[in-house]
Structure 1
Amino acid sequence: MIFRSLFGTGSGESAATLPVVRNITIGRTVRLDTLAWRRLEGLSFDIGRDTLDITAQGKITLDDGSYVHRFYTNDDVMLQAVSELADGSDADDFTVFHPWSSSYPSDELDKGAFIRRLFKAYWNEDGMPRFERFWYPDDPSDQEPVGLWEEIYEERTGPPLRRIYQRCMLYSRQVPPDGTELLLALAMKPDGGDLTHEIMIGLPLLPAEITA
Structure 2
Amino acid sequence: MFRGLFGGKKNGVETSAIPVVRNVTIGRSVRLDPLAWRRLGADAKFKLQTDTLGIVAQGLINLGADGYVHRFYTEDDLMLQVVSPDPEGQQANDFTLFGPWSSAYPPDEAAKRRWGDRLRARTFTDDGLPEYRRFWFGDADERQDPVSLWESVYDDRSATEPRRIYQTCMLFARDLPGEGRELLLAIEMEPQGGDLTHEIMIGIPLNVGEFEA
TM-score (norm 1): 0.90
Unaligned runs of 5+ in 1: 1-14
Structure 1 residue aligned with 2:111 = 110
1:127-142 aligned within 5 A = 127-142=128-143
Superposed displacement of residue 64, structure 1: 1.2
Distance 1:64 1:161 in 2: 23
Distance 1:178 1:21 in 2: 28
Superposed displacement of residue 137, structure 1: 1.5
Distance 1:210 1:111 in 2: 37
**Matched position secondary structure for 1:44:** coil
Distance 1:126 1:204 in 2: 23
Structure 2 residue aligned with 1:210 = 211
Identity in percent: 55
Structure 1 residue aligned with 2:22 = 22
AA of the residue aligned to 1:24: V
Superposed displacement of residue 65, structure 1: 5.2
Distance 2:71 2:80 in 1: 6
Indicate if the aligned counterparts of 2:17 and 2:160 stay in contact, CA closer than 8 A: no
Residue 33 of structure 2 corresponds to residue 33 of structure 1: yes
Distance 2:169 2:84 in 1: 19
TM-score (norm 2): 0.90
Unaligned runs of 5+ in 2: 1-14
Superposed displacement of residue 129, structure 1: 1.1
Structure 1 residue aligned with 2:45 = 44
Distance 2:24 2:160 in 1: 19
**Matched position secondary structure for 1:64:** helix
Give the direction of change, closer, same or farther, for the CA distance of 1:162–1:137 in structure 2 (3 Å limit).
Answer: same
1:1-212 aligned within 5 A = 17-41=17-41, 42-64=43-65, 66-212=67-213
Distance 1:26 1:142 in 2: 38
Give the direction of change, closer, same or farther, for the CA distance of 1:45–1:160 in structure 2 (3 Å limit).
Answer: farther
Distance 2:57 2:162 in 1: 10
AA of the residue aligned to 2:94: D
Distance 1:75 1:35 in 2: 21
Structure 1 residue aligned with 2:8 = none
RMSD: 1.2
Distance 2:129 2:181 in 1: 14
Indicate if the aligned counterparts of 1:152 and 1:160 stay in contact, CA closer than 8 A: no
Indicate if the aligned counterparts of 2:167 and 2:188 stay in contact, CA closer than 8 A: yes
Superposed displacement of residue 112, structure 1: 1.0
Structure 1 residue aligned with 2:5 = none
Length, aligned pairs only: 198
